[in-house]
Amino acid sequence: EDEAGQARFDEIIAQDSRIEPRDWMPEGYRKTLTRQVSQHAHSEIIGMQPEANWITRAPSLKRKAILMAKVQDEAGHGLYLYSAAETLGTPRHVLNEQLLTGRAKYSSIFNYPARTWADMGAIGWLVDGAAIANQVPLCRASYGPYGRAMVRICKEESFHQRQGFEILLELSRGTAEQKKMAQDAVNRFYEPSLMMFGPPDADSPNSKQSMAWNIKRFSNDDLRQRFVGMIVEQAKVLGLTLPDPDLRFDEESGKWIHQDLNWDEFKAVLAGNGPCNAQRLQRRREAHEDGAWVREAAAAYAAKTNEKAA
């Protein structure tokens, strides 16, 4: 049966068609997707924290409403992605346990602090911008539930990116102090946002297989340089600069060249030693404990309903 399943799986991949939850799939495919999709879900949930910190301090009612909507969207993305991950066979409480015990990764970017209101602009523009550049190709991922989830998520990320851009634009056109605050936020988030695309291709153990399985469509470095090209023009409109002395377009390769990134810092953040890792996980554990009564009530209600039905 495995042999027939493998042959059918290979055929679906060769046709660039989709694998669905009930289809036979190699264990490695199931495992790498569970890893990537659940880590993506964890990123959305942990990613609520830097911005949630600023909801009470948003400079106007309108800004507050927009920021609240964005953070709620991220919660929605997380739930959506956990559902997609569960179709691969691992229940959500197990995935959650992996996050709370620090065994599962989530995006490095959310371990950096959001210090000023301008950081809401830089996060929207650069972090959501990088998320879109990485996730648009994932809409064509070979695993059906993941690809379909990505389509909806990318639509919302586009709104997020525009709202961040608009915050920076307004600050940049404001007082000298506001413009300085915007530039400072961009300076701090530029390099970490480039690291969101993952390690350089030569140090990316999962890329080759994930590309062969049509999960990833482009390499980490390829997406990174594309993203840089996108933001170069947008930075001009913003009247802000990117803190990268090596930044240029290389005619010969048709690619954007950027400065070398500090991969030691990236490794430290992944190992749990970034500026906010401990705080982010601590907050998530507290939120999980605070929600215990909701889970208990939902389970009791479900048991009662089942009893009645029986």
Tokens of 121: 């602009």
Report if residue 47 touches ligand FAQ, rule: CB under 6 A. yes
- Residues 168, 95: Cα–Cα separation, whole Å: 36
Segment near ligand FAQ (CB under 6 A); pick from 35-43, 171-179, 281-289, 295-303: 35-43
Residue 86 binding ligand FAQ, by CB under 6 A: no
| C-beta closer to ligand FAQ: residue 179 or 280 | 280
Whole-number Cα distances in Å, 99 to 21, 35, 62, 93 = 23, 11, 34, 10
- Please report whether residue 111 would count as binding ligand FAQ according to CB under 6 A: no
**DSSP characters over 130-142:** HHHHHHTGGGG-S
Q: Name the one residue in this structure whose structure tokens are 């009564």.
A: 293
Q: In angstroms, give the least distance from the CB of 147 to ligand FAQ.
A: 12
Give the CA distances from residue 20 to residues 140, 141, 158, 260, in Å, rounded to whole numbers and listed in that order.
Answer: 13, 11, 27, 40
Residue number with CB closer to ligand FAQ (179 or 220): 220
Q: Is 99 in the site for ligand FAQ (CB under 6 A)?
A: no
Q: Is 75 a binder of ligand FAQ (CB under 6 A)?
A: no
220 neighbors 199 (Cβ within 8 angstroms): yes
Residue count (the chain) = 310
**Backbone phi and psi for residue 250, each to the nearest 5 degrees, phi listed first:** -95, 105
* 206 scored as a contact of ligand FAQ (CB under 6 A): yes
Rule CB under 6 A: is residue 226 a binding residue for ligand FAQ?
Answer: no
Are 47 and 120 in contact, with CB atoms under 8 Å apart? no
Whole-Å CA distances, 13 to 6, 47, 65, 138, 256: 10, 32, 43, 15, 31
Q: Site for ligand FAQ (CB under 6 A): which residue of 67, 120, 126, 131?
A: 131
* Residue 68 near ligand FAQ by CB under 6 A: no
d(CA 122, CA 244): 16
**CA dist list (Å): 129 to 23, 57, 59, 224:** 34, 24, 23, 11
Stretch of 60-68, 121-129, 166-174, 238-246 contacting ligand FAQ, by CB under 6 A: 121-129
CB of 99 to ligand FAQ, least distance (A): 12
Q: How far is the CB of 242 from ligand FAQ (least distance, A)?
A: 19
Told to check if 136 binds ligand FAQ by CB under 6 A, we report no
* Using rule CB under 6 A, residue 150 touches ligand FAQ: no
Q: Pick the binder of ligand FAQ from 34, 38, 43, 161 (CB under 6 A).
A: 43
Task: Establish if 158 lies at the interface with ligand FAQ (CB under 6 A).
Answer: no
Torsion region of 272: left, alpha or beta (phi above 0 gives left; psi -120 to 50 gives alpha): left
Query: Binding to ligand FAQ by residue 129, rule CB under 6 A?
Result: no
Whose Cβ is closer to ligand FAQ: residue 126's or residue 179's?
A: 126
Q: Are 193 and 129 in contact (CB under 8 A)?
A: yes
In the complex, which residues of this chain contact ligand FAQ (CB under 6 A)?
Answer: 35-36, 39-40, 43-44, 47, 74, 105, 107-108, 123, 127-128, 131, 134-135, 195-199, 204-207, 210, 216, 220, 270
